[in-house]
Amino acid sequence: MTAQTGTTRRRLFDATMRLARGTGLAGVTVDDIAAEAGVAKGTVYYNFGSKDGLVEALLRYGVADLGSRMQEAIDEAEDATAGLAALVDAALEFVERYPGFSQILVSELWRTPGRWAETLAPLRRDILAILEGQLERVAATGRFPAGVPVRTASAALFGTLLVSALDWLVFEPDRRREDVRDSILTLLAARAGTD
Long-range contacts of 16-19 (CB under 8 A, 24+ apart): 16/54, 16/55, 16/58, 16/100, 17/58, 17/62, 17/98, 17/100, 17/101, 17/104, 18/100, 19/100
Q: Which three-class secondary structure state does DSSP give residue 112?
A: coil
pLDDT at 190: 62
Superfamily of domain 56-192: Tetracycline Repressor, domain 2 (1.10.357.10)
pLDDT in tens, the chain (195 residues): 577 667 888 888 888 888 877 677 778 889 999 999 999 999 989 888 988 888 888 889 889 999 999 999 999 999 999 999 999 999 999 999 888 888 888 888 888 777 888 899 999 999 999 999 999 999 999 888 888 899 999 999 999 999 999 999 999 999 999 999 999 998 887 654 444
Rounded to whole angstroms, how far apart are CA atoms 101 and 16? 8
Predicted confidence at residue 193, as pLDDT, reads 47
CATH architecture label of 1-49: Orthogonal Bundle (1.10)
The answer to whether the CB of 126 falls within 8 A of the CB of 63 is yes
At 67 the pLDDT is: 96
Phi, psi of 151 (to 5 degrees): -60, -45
Residue 194: what pLDDT? 45
Residue-level pLDDT at 58: 85
The full set of domain ranges for the chain reads 1-49, 56-192
pTM of this structure: 0.85
